[in-house]
């Protein structure tokens, strides 16, 4: 019984340099985690999807959430936006997306940027799975 329990225990994936670098660079530059692992088409499609969504959000006058400790929705907004990595850092540095959400398009834009960040979190996890050999 004890042996069968032991044999069923999940084995920790081997940690290598790529399994740390790929998610990190994939967060900073969307799709780059796949590109450095030579998944060219997937990488460019992820890059295009996340970047275009984020830029469309900015063009629609969406709101970029800053780090905050206030309302739970604002905190979640910040976490979502943070997923975009470099795009989020640049938009904060350039002071973009700081207007009020005054019309429907701005609300759509805010959601576009939020979801772009969440999609990038998923692609970061995918880059990690590829790096440890869990996915081809």
Contact at 8 Å (CB) between 35 and 131?
no
d(CA 114, CA 109): 9
Q: Which is nearer to other proteins, 32 or 58 (CB)?
A: 58
Residue 8 C-beta: closest distance to other proteins, Å: 24
Residue 135 C-beta: closest distance to other proteins, Å: 6
Contact at 8 Å (CB) between 91 and 58?
yes
- Which pair of structure tokens corresponds to residue 105? 């398009």
- Which pair of structure tokens corresponds to residue 111? 């959601």
Q: Is 10 a binder of other proteins (CB under 8 A)?
A: no
What mask, x for binding other proteins by CB under 8 A, covers residues 26 to 65? Answer: ----------------x--xx-xxx-xx--x-xxxx----
Contact at 8 Å (CB) between 18 and 37?
yes
Residue 56 C-beta: closest distance to other proteins, Å: 7
Contact at 8 Å (CB) between 101 and 110?
yes
Q: Which residues lie near other proteins (CB under 8 A)?
A: 42, 45-46, 48-50, 52-53, 56, 58-61, 96-97, 104-105, 108-109, 111-112, 115-116, 119, 122-123, 125-126, 135-136
């Amino acid at each position: 019984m004890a042996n069968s329990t032991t044999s069923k225990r999940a084995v920790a994936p081997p940690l290598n340099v790529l399994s740390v670098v790929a998610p990190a660079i994939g967060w900073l530059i969307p799709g780059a985690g796949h590109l450095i692992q030579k998944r060219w088409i997937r990488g460019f499609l992820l890059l295009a999807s996340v970047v275009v969504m984020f830029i469309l959000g900015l063009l629609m006058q969406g709101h970029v959430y800053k780090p905050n400790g206030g309302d739970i929705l604002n905190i979640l907004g910040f976490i979502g936006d943070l997923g975009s990595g470099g795009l989020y850092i640049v938009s904060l540095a350039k002071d973009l997306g700081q207007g009020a959400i005054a019309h429907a398009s701005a609300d759509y834009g805010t959601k576009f940027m939020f979801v772009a960040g969440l999609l990038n979190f998923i692609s970061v996890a995918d880059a990690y799975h590829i790096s440890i050999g869990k996915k081809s």
